[in-house]
Structure 1
């Protein structure tokens, strides 16, 4: 993992020096995970699209201030997290069950799954999505950063601006609640 961290750092430094190709590589490497992280935290694809674009715009605008103390992805997700929080502050969204169901159906179709598997996979995703919606925002954020991106507690604490033990506690409560809600 250190190799990837070093490579991301080198790419960011190259981008700061004017290498647009380095930015393209960083974007390709992190766009999927970043988009999913944002999408699971907001109420519509439109909002996710806007926040995704704004995150990358902030990366571009603040490239001169990038410091390699943390991993690039930690810095990137911290920017996205702050934008999501700001979005909630401006307008506290209420997730629509219909919208989430539509998104999950589109994802299943996009993945080209066999028809007999789609329903089972869709039901599992639907249960998980509904369970995620019921978590407090702080727990949902920690859960997604851990499960979606595989981040450690230190990185999660940095991104969310809380202590390591607080992040650990939030993750523990999120996992417990998800198990209760997902298990039939």
Structure 2
């Protein structure tokens, strides 16, 4: 981080328009506290991480409007964004992707065909698949069944699970990775 480590939140946010590294320092400073706040309230690590992404995407979009307190701290500001993001998510029953889409560097999770093929190969070995699926968290298990075994589209699964398509993609990807580590596909 270097000399920016001692910069106030107000200074970092003020520099964000011209220097993306300034926001990266701000993000590193507040990522842990915001994630902990959201995790305590949601009790779901995946949802907390997704909401955290929403918070920082919103903060980046509003950085130019930030007016700090006398110490230059953004604590009240960033936690207000987190609170509002959480309340909006609860009202809508799902995590919104809109703020994340505004970020040019946010890459959607891409599933690799090899992963899907490996899981599809397990279908012929029903007991092994069922045992491996049973070890996954319920949300991952449901997402994998819907996407891989039932071949349903992401938007339909997102509606069923009451979350965004990006969350479904991440959930399926994490589940496939866990399955890949648990079960060797039959050749």
**TM-score bracket, shorter-length normalisation:** 0.3 to 0.5
Q: Which has the higher helix share?
A: 1
Q: Which has the larger radius of gyration?
A: 2
What is the TM-score normalised by the length of structure 2? 0.43
- TM-score (norm. length: structure 1): 0.43
